[in-house]
């Protein structure tokens, strides 16, 4: 199945950890994946083609990218499509 639960990964682009952490707490985002890399040691911009923010990626259950640089509307449509296909066939296309 493509997705049974939605998760979010967030990463601040600027070095304001306190503001970012306060935002996470204020908006109840603790259940989501949140990462902090102020020195860019992970090279996330290179590996994930991040030239601007925000960028939306759709991942499957193995966290493999199935769509990137899509709008929120497109994400909803793709989730619906994959969910319907999963329900019909019992597996992802």
pLDDT (0 to 100) of residue 14: 62
Tens of pLDDT along 63-83? 888 898 888 889 889 988 888
CATH topology for 9-89 is Glutaredoxin (3.40.30)
Average pLDDT value for residue range 26-53: 81
**Mean pLDDT in the chain?**
77
Q: What span, in angstroms and rounded, lies between the C-alpha atoms of 51 and 55?
A: 9
Q: What is the pTM of this model?
A: 0.59
What share of the chain has pLDDT > 70, as a percent?
A: 76
- The three-state secondary structure class of 25 is helix
* Burial (CB count within 10 angstroms: exposed 0-12, middle 13-18, buried 19+), residue 57: middle
């Amino acid at each position: 199945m493509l997705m049974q639960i939605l998760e979010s990964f967030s990463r601040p682009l600027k070095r304001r950890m306190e503001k970012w952490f306060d935002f996470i707490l204020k908006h109840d985002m603790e259940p989501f994946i949140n990462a902090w890399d102020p020195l860019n040691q992970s090279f996330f911009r290179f590996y994930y083609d991040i030239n601007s923010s925000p960028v939306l990626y759709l991942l499957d259950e193995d966290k493999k990218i199935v769509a990137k640089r899509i709008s929120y509307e497109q994400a909803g449509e793709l989730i619906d499509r994959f969910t319907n296909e999963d329900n019909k066939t019992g597996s992802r296309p």
